[in-house]
Chains A and B, each alone.
Chain A
Amino acid sequence: MVSDAVAEEARRRGAAGRRSGALDIQREQSDVVMKADVPRIAVSGPGADQAARIAGAVVDPELPMISIADLGVLRAVDVADGSVTVTITPTYSGCPAVQAISDDIVTALRSAGHRDVTVRTQLSPAWSSDDMSAEGRRALAGAGIAPPAHRASGPIPLQLSVRCPQCGSRRTEQLTRFGSTSCKALYRCRDCAEPFDYFKVL
């Protein structure tokens, strides 16, 4: 019951974020090439799907509009002998949200009746901003955070201009590469003059 509330809260936040976005999301997505190989959450054991839904609905406290499933931070959920093991990966090595996320996963799963919950952190393969889902990107944009471009696959890094999440202009400039959190840079729109966060490519 509480787990439903957690999921509902994540959905509500996501929906609210989308409504408040001035941007035409469909148009934004048209120039973002979605990769098909976004890592899926590996589940094993009885009830693991349900446990994965509960754990996946936990949000990053620094990014409350996006669930850890959509952020690509949730890697695996394994249930064995009544114990749940959840595997997550940090976005950045020093991300202070990892501890809060771990605690919230334990709380959410315990509230849903899982007594024995372990959260382990896995570094490899390293998290990439490409691990974020299309839904996650929409949620970020809806909340005024420009979603990350996809990583350049060729030998020459190509940095396209970042689209303003407020007005959609591509006339934007970077103010600082290191913003309010490790994962974000600070930008400014030269058309609407609003500053905004850009989720960095990693």
Chain B
Amino acid sequence: MTTTPPAGSGTSVSTADVADYALRLGDDALVLAQRLGEWISRAPELEEDVALANIGLDLLGQARSLLGYAGSLTGRTEDELAYFRTAEDFRAAHLMSLPRGDFAVTIARMLLVAAYQRELYARLTGSADETLAGVAGKAVKEVTYHLEHARDWTVRLGDGTDESHRRTQAALDGLWPYLAELFVTDELEQRLVAAGVSVDSSSLRAGFDATVEPVLAEATLDIPQVASVAGGGRRGNPGEHLGHLLAEMQSLARQFPGATW
């Protein structure tokens, strides 16, 4: 483990910490990109098929930058990280790997994740780590588009028919317990916050609420009053769904290592 003093910071920071932090953000993006990709050819209309694929592609691009960076710090390639880690080695929050569900679940998750990522990346542009700041500078503009898309659909579905309202409320109720994990600041993050490298996740909740609550109000949806689940995705407890997702995502690379086209 070597140490690197990031520019503009008086505190040194371990590269292993930075790599693990980049993996958290990158794995969130990668896993959700895979879930969105499942909609290709199955979305409610052609335009939405294209939209979900494009949003997934943005997330995949962010994931590649972040995994590539994490790999450069630990001597691995982005492909090794994406295709040859087991579920326990992933660091994605459980919210990302939940099954895609119906369209309401996909849209509700997009709203929650995009609102979180916009707060995160807007703040991370000021990171003392130049690479993380650079990735965040691109990502914040992209996730703003995702957020607008999710907001439009949430209002349309929530304030739509009885059935679309019922499904969207059910989707929110089902996802809400998984939100808490996104806003936990653990010891690794505290070390990186002290060095000016990462954002304090717990400080993102206020901005998140200020974004999401007016959308839900306009959509005539209630803010769920539910207990949070334990989470654990950031520390090697992948939850029950990630393994299945990886089995599909990794199968080709594992059967045919080094395959190209």
Contacts and interface: CB of A to CB of B under 8 A. Distances in A.
Contact of A178 (B54, B64, B131): B54
A188 to B, nearest CB: 11
A94 B57 contact: yes
B137 A94 contact: no
Contacts of B47: 175-176, 178, 186
Interface in B36-69: 47-48, 50-51, 53-55, 57-62, 64-65
Given A93-B58, A94-B61, A123 B138 contact: yes
Interface of A: 90, 92-96, 122-127, 175-182, 186, 200, 202
Interface stretch (B86-94, B139-147, B205-213, B236-244): B139-147
A9 B59 CA distance: 34
A94 B59 contact: yes
B114 to A, nearest CB: 13
Contact of A93 (B138, B148, B149): B138
Given A93-B138, A96-B57, A176 B65 contact: no
Interface residues of B, number: 28
Given A93-B142, A180-B50, 10 more contacts: A90-B61, A93-B61, A93-B64, A93-B135, A94-B58, A95-B61, A126-B138, A126-B141, A176-B51, A186-B47
A178 B55 contact: yes
A123 B57 contact: no
Interface in B185-208: none
A152 B53 CA distance: 27
B138 A127 contact: yes
B130 interface: yes
A94 B130 CA distance: 20
B177 interface: no
Contacts of A175: 47
Q: Which 3 A-B pairs have the closest CB atoms?
A: A94-B61, A93-B61, A124-B134
A195 to B, nearest CB: 11
B62 A177 contact: no
A181 to B, nearest CB: 8
B133 interface: yes
B57 A182 contact: yes
A186 to B, nearest CB: 7
Contacts of A200: 145
Contacts of A127: 138
Nearest to A175: B47
Contacts of B137: 123-126
A87 B52 CA distance: 30
A181 B62 CA distance: 16
Contacts of B139: 93
B149 A178 contact: yes
A179 B50 contact: yes
Nearest to A183: B54
Contact of A182 (B58, B130, B133): B58
Contacts of B57: 92, 94, 96, 182
A177 B134 CA distance: 25
Contacts of B62: 93-94
B65 A93 contact: yes
A178 B50 contact: yes
Contacts of B61: 90, 92-95
A176 B50 contact: yes
B135 A123 contact: yes
Most chain B beta-carbon neighbours within 10 Å: one of A124, A127, A178, A200 = A178
B58 A124 contact: no
